[in-house]
């Protein structure tokens, strides 16, 4: 164990920190940094060792950060570390396509120039965000980072506590599960999950291409599933390509050249020649929602609370909205003198986030079902619908604001304001 922050834990067994965060991905560290601003101390327990999570090699993973998410990173001071590597998304074009036929005549076009807030979002590679979060966490005196540690048991009947694989027990006032869709924290608390499988797998990779993308993101709705093309810095882009489980497995088994051959007719030639940049990934697409997000002395954030189909890049954005909402609820409660771990306080977070999550899950599901269909009637109907949305600037602006995360009851941090 070479973490210098390790020492205080041995000394203060009674209250290691105010908050225990299980999960060292993206939401957990962001929450710890947000709570630190309010003077709350956190211990972040990460199953992955630093060598695995903080790797300079580009592995092909990246995020579509909505403007609101970027604002949260600004408010937490992380943005300045990553902005040089972030690609602004200036326009989004959505169109209906069938492999080999090119896009249908009607397509949706969203331009950031239509709203005053700026770009709708940014593309950011996973490695840069992870590195910035790790650096900030390690420099923060209110945060203890424990990488490479697995939680095997927890107890929230008294003060919250977890037992690590090495037998050590850590205690705090409140336990946070930020440990993803297979959340052990939620499962150990007996919180059930509802899940739906889409019968699809997302193929994810990055590409180098010949021609500049001009900051334009594309979404092609194909019968098998959508293909999203998201601009990265330079002549590079990140793609999320959905196919049926069986077809995705076949494609993934192909060589790099075979893979590109299947992709080319779907992708088109508007960016010139394409080549792979980094690794290829596959993610089965399913939607899972926890029956509740909170319990006594316990709250779930991000995919631990809800894992959504990532067609609009909304997984991380929803997670960061959880982070902003929970940090705000806890900070306000602390300044009022309330017990931050009481169900009375935590239920405010659940009320705030549940509606948003259910709405997004339902609409993402609907869009996917509507567009992943080759029925000619549906196809004509949606082409007409897209044409109509395009014809009305007000409708278009509200779509843009929605995509940028600027609608609804936006947490202070996601407005770029301090807690």
Partner 1 sequence: MNSAANTVDDAEIAKFEAMAAEWWDPKGKFAPLHMMNPIRLDYITAQIAAEFGRDLRDEKPFYGLRLLDIGCGGGLLSEPMARLGATVVGADAAERNIPVARVHAEQSGLEIDYRHTTAEALAEADEQFDVVLNMEVVEHVADPQAYLTACRQLLKPGGLMICSTINRNPKSFALAIVGAEYVMRWLPKGTHEWHKFITPEELFALIETAGLDPVDRKGFVFNPISWRWSISDRDLSVNYVTASVKR
Q: Which residues bind partner 1 (CB under 8 A)?
A: 38-39, 332-333, 335-339, 343-344, 347-348
In the complex, minimum distance from the CB of residue 336 to partner 1, in angstroms, rounded to a whole number: 4
Judged by beta carbon, residue 173 or residue 236, the one nearer partner 1 is 173
Judged by beta carbon, residue 33 or residue 240, the one nearer partner 1 is 33
Judged by beta carbon, residue 15 or residue 363, the one nearer partner 1 is 15
SS3 for 368? helix
Q: Which residues fall within 8 angstroms of residue 343, CB to CB, at 6 or more apart?
A: 294, 295, 296
In the complex, minimum distance from the CB of residue 183 to partner 1, in angstroms, rounded to a whole number: 25
Judged by beta carbon, residue 120 or residue 340, the one nearer partner 1 is 340
129-135 contact pairs (CB < 8 A, 24+):
129/26, 129/63, 129/78, 129/82, 130/26, 130/53, 130/54, 131/54, 131/56, 131/81, 132/78, 132/81, 132/82, 133/26, 133/29, 133/30, 133/33, 133/78, 134/29, 134/50, 134/53, 134/54, 135/81
How many Cβ atoms sit within 10 Å of the Cβ of residue 215? 16
In the complex, minimum distance from the CB of residue 268 to partner 1, in angstroms, rounded to a whole number: 47
DSSP β-ladder status, 91-98 and 216-221 = parallel
In the complex, minimum distance from the CB of residue 347 to partner 1, in angstroms, rounded to a whole number: 8
Helices (H) and strands (E) in the chain, counts: 13, 21
Judged by beta carbon, residue 82 or residue 160, the one nearer partner 1 is 160
CB 282 within 8 A of CB 201: yes
Kindly list the strands in the beta sheet with 169-172, ordered across the sheet, starting from the edge strand earlier in the chain: 151-155, 160-164, 169-172
In the complex, minimum distance from the CB of residue 301 to partner 1, in angstroms, rounded to a whole number: 21
DSSP β-ladder status, 42-46 and 19-22 = parallel
Judged by beta carbon, residue 325 or residue 400, the one nearer partner 1 is 325
Distance of CA 322 to the CA centre of its chain: 10
Judged by beta carbon, residue 66 or residue 333, the one nearer partner 1 is 333
In the complex, minimum distance from the CB of residue 296 to partner 1, in angstroms, rounded to a whole number: 11
Q: Which of 61, 45, 31 is nearest to 238 (CA)?
A: 61
Give the whole-angstrom CA distance, residue 225 versus residue 303: 22
In the complex, minimum distance from the CB of residue 107 to partner 1, in angstroms, rounded to a whole number: 38
Judged by beta carbon, residue 181 or residue 348, the one nearer partner 1 is 348
In the complex, minimum distance from the CB of residue 405 to partner 1, in angstroms, rounded to a whole number: 21
């Amino acid at each position: 164990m070479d973490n210098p922050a390790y020492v205080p834990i041995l000394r203060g067994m009674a209250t290691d920190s105010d908050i225990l965060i299980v999960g060292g991905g993206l939401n957990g560290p962001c929450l710890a940094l947000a709570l630190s601003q309010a003077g709350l101390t956190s211990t972040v327990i990460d199953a992955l060792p630093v060598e695995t999570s903080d790797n300079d090699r580009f592995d092909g993973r990246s995020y579509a950060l909505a403007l609101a998410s970027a604002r949260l990173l600004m408010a937490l001071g992380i943005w300045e570390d990553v902005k040089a590597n972030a690609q602004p998304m200036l326009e989004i074009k959505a169109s209906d396509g069938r492999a080999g036929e090119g896009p249908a005549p009607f397509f949706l076009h969203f331009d950031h120039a239509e709203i005053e807030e700026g770009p709708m979002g940014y593309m950011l590679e996973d490695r840069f965000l992870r590195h910035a979060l790790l650096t900030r966490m390690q420099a923060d005196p209110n945060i203890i980072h424990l990488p490479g540690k697995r939680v095997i048991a927890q107890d929230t009947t008294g003060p919250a506590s977890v037992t690590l694989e090495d037998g050590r027990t850590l205690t705090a006032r409140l336990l946070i599960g930020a440990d993803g869709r297979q959340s052990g924290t939620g499962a150990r608390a007996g919180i059930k999950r509802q899940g739906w499988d889409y019968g699809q797998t997302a193929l994810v990779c990055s590409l180098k291409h010949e021609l500049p993308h001009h900051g334009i993101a594309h979404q092609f709705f194909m019968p098998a599933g959508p293909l999203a093309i998201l601009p990265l810095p330079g002549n590079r882009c990140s793609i999320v390509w959905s196919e049926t489980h069986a077809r995705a497995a076949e494609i993934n088994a192909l060589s790099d050249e075979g893979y590109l051959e299947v992709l080319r007719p779907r992708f088109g030639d508007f960016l010139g020649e394409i080549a792979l940049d980094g690794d290829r990934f596959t993610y089965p697409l399913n939607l899972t929602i926890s029956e509740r997000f909170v319990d006594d002395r316990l709250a779930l954030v991000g995919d631990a609370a809800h894992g959504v189909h990532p067609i609009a890049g909304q997984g991380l954005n929803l997670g960061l909205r959880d982070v902003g909402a929970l940090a705000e609820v806890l900070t306000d409660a602390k300044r009022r003198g309330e017990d931050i771990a009481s169900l009375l306080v935590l239920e405010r977070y659940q009320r705030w986030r549940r509606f948003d999550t259910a709405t997004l899950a339902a609409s993402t599901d609907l869009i996917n079902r509507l567009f992943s269909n080759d029925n000619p009637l549906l196809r004509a109907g949606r082409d007409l619908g897209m044409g109509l949305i395009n014809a009305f600037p007000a409708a278009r602006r509200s779509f843009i604001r929605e995509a940028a995360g600027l609608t609804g009851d936006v947490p202070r941090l996601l407005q770029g304001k301090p807690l």
